[in-house]
Structure 1
Amino acid sequence: MSEKLSRSRRLRWVVGVASAALVAGLVTACGGSTSGKSDTVYFGVSGPKSGNSAEYGRLWQQGFDLALDEINAAGGIDGKKVELKWEDSQSDPKQTVPIATKFVGDNSIIAELGDFSSPASIAASPVYNRGKLVQYGFTNSAVDFTKGGDYSWSPSITLDVYQERNVQWVSAKAKKVSVVYLETDWGKQAFKYFQQYAKEKGIEIAYDSPILPESQDFRPVLIKGRDAHPDAFVHLGYGPDGALIVKQLRDVGFDGQFFGGQNTPQFISLAGTSAEGDIVNGVFTPADTSKKVQDFVTKFRAKFDTDPGDFNVYAYDALNVLVKAAKHGGATRDGVLKGLREVKDFSGIGLGDSFAFDQQTRRPTGVKPIELVLQNGKFVPTGSK
């Protein structure tokens, strides 16, 4: 009796294991395991669709959508349609790590795009590198981002280059400045480089202060900066906080030159006339008369009834670069990596006509920011009429 019971239990155990394996197989198949039979190629996007940085996710979405229209109309990748799998990270490091784990476990995803902020991306880099999934941090300017490993790549101009150019442009208009910067790792690094290059150029930093990204009232800090009697005020941060800074600067009576904010519709709208004459680092302007840029602007306006800005261009270029890499190396994780390593003629709206990635830094060579000034509600190259 005991032996029969034992055999019965063993049989139930075997059947149970087999059933569990079958269910797991079905779940894996439904979850997007790469089998070579799918007619769709997926890229994962880790980025903000809600929270304080949601505006950037919206701008990314527009850039991605236009790129997808063109890529798929041209046959996708080897005849396969290209689609995105989005996860809303709120650009929060606590959320980017589980998203990275999810993307690495989804074998249908051949590369990842994002996240928006460098700290959010850097937190997830170990997961992507262990999982051998390319992490393409296309807005990550922190110098240390690509040091995360062989699978961390970025086309973004680094903070040291940005701030060297920023100081160059500031020095043409001011010898004494007050500076505010975000109290984040990114903000502290930006200020470190600004401070370094300002010293080299003989610019006096009369006052400096970190600011909290979530703050709404910066006037106590701005009054101190105003009372240092600077020639100009420099803001090292993002669009939403930059808009508040410049409006409140005007409220407390500073009417001098402002350097800060970002080339985004949100900044221009929120800052209003307070930001007229503002100077920023940029990678793109609709005022560029080249045929490539004007073709892009025309298509973007037709689809979204507005002018594109930097963050639309970042996303548009990023997806096109990864698709070109996949076409070269194959629509697989290894293929994307191979393409990034071997293609020598990547291009983009904000990246120039031709570039290759430096294989040590995993960033493009020769890409430089441009100086833009806000005139009549639009950012145009300085010197434009």
Structure 2
Amino acid sequence: MVKQFGKLKVVFKSAALTLAASAAFACPVQADTLKVGLVAALSGQSAKSGEAITRGLTVAIDEINAAGGILGQQVELIRRDDESNPSKGLLATRELIQKEGVSVIFGGLDTPVSLAIVPVINKLKVPYVGTWAAGTPITKNGAKENYAFRVSAVDEIVDEALLSYALKHYGTQKPGMILINNPWGESNEKGLTKALDARGMSAVGIERIEGSDVDVVPQLTRLKEAGVDTLFMVANVSPSAQVVKSLERMGWDVPIVSHWGPAGGRFSELAGPNADQVEFIQTYVFSAPGTDARSDALFASLQQRYPEIKSHADVTPAVGIANAYDAMYLTAKAIELAGSTEGPAIRKGFYSIDQYDGLIKNYQTPFTPDNHDALGPDDYVFTHFVDGSIVVVKK
């Protein structure tokens, strides 16, 4: 795969790597390395999200290292499993910064974990680059010196997109919400309510679910009785699957317009035959073979790097790969522009990026002091599962 990085032409070079039981993952390195960390869900129901982020980062790092690294140093990735637990994510972050000496932390799927990490990285002045979690307050955290950046969706923008999609395709008049009972759910309740208010609308029902729920029929029954004609869902893999199975038991056929939580793991397996009815937002989907050269090139690189990948179904979710891939290259550019691995200098380096032709899009001034989110409302696409693969919804 060939990409332009600064003035260097980057040629992908495959290398065999070893995954240690400690969950530390090292790319090919020399003695003098530039360390970056990843704190993400590497086990449990959302492990596929951590796997996808790892793949995106490592392919980009392989390419960068083959071109000479960053500031003449080879890049080393060190992973830690947060198990979708904010306390574990916080401890992992401190370890990576204070013990391993990483220059940057990349984040994973869970908004509660990211929100726990952000105050620490702002205090220690180490940049944090989110690659999945979409909670609005992650980057809009109110810090005077904000070190949280993101190459991913943003809840308040996603919520506007969800409502626009529902209005266009389902003529929604009586929306309802079913939201995970955590800060991510709260963030989207605010965003969806704001989007509805702007149109003189309101939700006829709002229900909460827990990650451990195995039956959400009571909540869904209340929404059905309220007359809900479109269901907005915000939850990760397991609770989203329970919503689908509970709807099936009820015999309630209602459109489900969802945030991207179902993409983070074994949703199609857990939700059963009706998994394809959930339409959810993404920032990237691999194109059909032969239709997009860049998509084909990245997929070929992934297959060479990970022999177990046989088809696009094996790289689901692509969003984690793409977000992480672009995030690594943007971070590399920030460090090169900074000419330093010190956090405050890297932070300024992010603001100095004027252009990067990435996988998801051609980024033009992706970060400014007032905007730490590289992706915007024009960078989303609606998808669903078909035979285990995430594909674009065709309406």
Indicate which of 206, 217, 220 corresponds to 1:219.
Answer: 217
Give the Cα–Cα distance (whole angstroms) in 2 for the partners of residues 355 and 306 of structure 1.
Answer: 34
Match of 1:27 in 2: none
Give the Cα–Cα distance (whole angstroms) in 2 for the partners of residues 348 and 189 of structure 1.
Answer: 28
Give the Cα–Cα distance (whole angstroms) in 2 for the partners of residues 213 and 280 of structure 1.
Answer: 19
**What SS does structure 2 have at the residue aligned with 1:243?**
helix
Q: CA deviation at 1:171?
A: 1.1
Task: Say yes or no: does 1:178 pair with 2:185.
Answer: no
Give the Cα–Cα distance (whole angstroms) in 1 for the partners of residues 341 and 65 of structure 2.
Answer: 18
User: Judging changes above 3 Å, is the alpha-carbon distance between structure 1 residues 98 and 264 closer, same or farther for their aligned structure 2 residues?
Assistant: closer
The structure carrying a bigger helix percent of its residues is: 1
Indicate which of 123, 139, 156 corresponds to 2:152.
Answer: 156
Match of 1:32 in 2: none
**What SS does structure 2 have at the residue aligned with 1:299?**
helix
- Report the residue type matching 1:324 in the other structure: K
Q: Which has the higher contact order (CA 8 A, sep 6+)?
A: 2
Give the Cα–Cα distance (whole angstroms) in 2 for the partners of residues 244 and 44 of structure 1.
Answer: 33
Contact 1:358 1:364 in 2 (8 A): no
**What SS does structure 2 have at the residue aligned with 1:255?**
coil
Task: Say yes or no: does 1:124 pair with 2:117.
Answer: yes
Q: CA deviation at 1:291?
A: 2.6
**What SS does structure 2 have at the residue aligned with 1:113?**
strand
Q: CA deviation at 1:126?
A: 2.6
Match of 1:49 in 2: 42
- Report the residue type matching 2:294 in the other structure: K
Q: Give TM-score, length-normalised by structure 1.
A: 0.81
Give the unaligned 5+ runs of structure 2.
1-29
Aligned pairs (5 A) from 1:75-154: 75-106=68-99, 108-146=101-139, 147=141, 148=143, 149-154=145-150
1:318-368 deviation per Cα after TM superposition (whole angstroms, max 9, x unaligned): 222212222332351245323212111134323445442022232226453
Q: Percent identity?
A: 22
Q: CA deviation at 1:246?
A: 1.4
Of 62-71 and 375-384, more deviation after overlay is shown by 375-384
Contact 1:355 1:366 in 2 (8 A): no
Contact 1:281 1:369 in 2 (8 A): no
Contact 1:46 1:115 in 2 (8 A): yes
Match of 1:3 in 2: none
Contact 1:181 1:235 in 2 (8 A): yes
Contact 1:96 1:115 in 2 (8 A): no
Q: CA deviation at 1:277?
A: 4.0
**What SS does structure 2 have at the residue aligned with 1:364?**
coil
Aligned pairs (5 A) from 1:56-67: 56-67=49-60
Indicate which of 295, 303, 310 corresponds to 2:319.
Answer: 310
Give the Cα–Cα distance (whole angstroms) in 2 for the partners of residues 220 and 248 of structure 1.
Answer: 9
Give the Cα–Cα distance (whole angstroms) in 2 for the partners of residues 311 and 367 of structure 1.
Answer: 18
Indicate which of 355, 370, 375 corresponds to 2:380.
Answer: 370
- Report the residue type matching 2:324 in the other structure: A
User: Judging changes above 3 Å, is the alpha-carbon distance between structure 1 residues 98 and 224 closer, same or farther for their aligned structure 2 residues?
Assistant: same
| RMSD between superposed Cα atoms in Å | 2.6
- Report the residue type matching 1:145 in the other structure: I
User: Judging changes above 3 Å, is the alpha-carbon distance between structure 1 residues 132 and 264 closer, same or farther for their aligned structure 2 residues?
Assistant: closer
**What SS does structure 2 have at the residue aligned with 1:87?**
strand
Match of 1:296 in 2: 298
**What SS does structure 1 have at the residue aligned with 2:263?**
coil
Match of 2:392 in 1: 381
Q: CA deviation at 1:51?
A: 4.2
Larger Rg: 1
Task: Say yes or no: does 1:360 pair with 2:370.
Answer: yes
Q: CA deviation at 1:202?
A: 5.1
- Report the residue type matching 2:283 in the other structure: V
Q: CA deviation at 1:279?
A: 1.7
Give the Cα–Cα distance (whole angstroms) in 2 for the partners of residues 101 and 264 of structure 1.
Answer: 25
User: Judging changes above 3 Å, is the alpha-carbon distance between structure 1 residues 212 and 251 closer, same or farther for their aligned structure 2 residues?
Assistant: same
User: Judging changes above 3 Å, is the alpha-carbon distance between structure 1 residues 325 and 229 closer, same or farther for their aligned structure 2 residues?
Assistant: same
User: Judging changes above 3 Å, is the alpha-carbon distance between structure 1 residues 263 and 100 closer, same or farther for their aligned structure 2 residues?
Assistant: closer
1:102-154 deviation per Cα after TM superposition (whole angstroms, max 9, x unaligned): 23324641111114322222222232222221122232322222224422222
- Report the residue type matching 1:154 in the other structure: R
